[in-house]
Structure 1
């Protein structure tokens, strides 16, 4: 039985992330496409835990938490995925994992063909200290992490 149509395992969900990421790259100002990447990028942490067979009982949340901590060591951007995904679902975040305070659509004066040093429109992640990071860089690191992960631990 599957409640996710034809997505049966973590490798299938990873393919969804890759598809969503390609669509996002075609339109990097699309909040909807960005949120699709965030949602799958975050939920892969749970699917990968099942994939690793480290979470045998649904009630054993500690195993999932410990597993996620090992992922954070290799990809701290997953904490950002957690916070954005949780904010998207619940509006308020009661247990943030990252140091972000906001995400925003920065309206720049230059188009997307200009380089990163120009004031171009982009999605940004804002830290508590006020530093801004391009969402495109954050999500690229997440996709690269999951790509490496599934090369090291292919579905059996």
Structure 2
């Protein structure tokens, strides 16, 4: 039990918070504040899982665990950078090679399909690859759900 979380807030509860916040984000997929909160939730699951399941995971350090997660889900690097930059303003050790983030104002609202030029939150990497935040966070959420199922025997 974590003495700073008012009771039984654990890894599973943190994942459920991520899922609930994602459902809220889907109501307005251009809300940057909600996107940054999602990034923080998704990234800080690493800390929760490591501390709660350290013996079962078999990693000596949090850094070793994070590196293993990065190898399994490259998009966690984006969550790392967004979460830490929103907390510290600048990053001393970026992981994802993000050039910039922005709100892309499309000709259509996010209620339209991706076949249209819809408004969305965009991540542009150093190599000028453009990523849609919604797709990245969906990928990370699916990773975490599979991780919990496979490694911790927790099915959501």
Give TM-score, length-normalised by structure 2: 0.89
Q: Look up the match of 1:79.
A: 77
Alignment size in residue pairs = 150
Q: What does the per-residue CA deviation read over 1:80-110, in whole Å, with 9 as the maximum and x for residues that have no partner? A: 0000111100111110011211111111111
Q: Say if 2:37 and 2:83, in contact at 8 Å, map to a contact too.
A: no
* Contact 1:29 1:105 survives alignment (8 Å): yes
1:137 is aligned to 135
Instruction: Name the CA shift for 1:118/1:26 in 2 (closer, same or farther; >3 Å).
Output: same
Extract unaligned runs of 5+ from structure 2.
none
Taking structure 1 as the reference length, what is the TM-score of the superposition? 0.89
Q: Partners of 2:52 and 2:19 in 1: how far apart?
A: 18
Greater relative contact order (Cα < 8 A, sep 6+): 1
Instruction: Give, in whole Å, the separation in 1 of the partners of 2:115 and 2:10.
Output: 40
Point out where structure 1 has 5 or more consecutive residues left out of the alignment: 56-61
RMSD, aligned α-carbons: 1.9
- Cα deviation for residue 65 of structure 1 reads 0.5
Pair 18,148 (structure 1): closer, same or farther in 2 beyond 3 Å: same
- Greater shift, 111-120 or 93-102, is seen at 111-120
Q: Does the 8 A contact of 1:2 with 1:8 survive in 2?
A: no
Aligned to 1:58: none
Q: Partner of 1:10 in structure 2?
A: 11
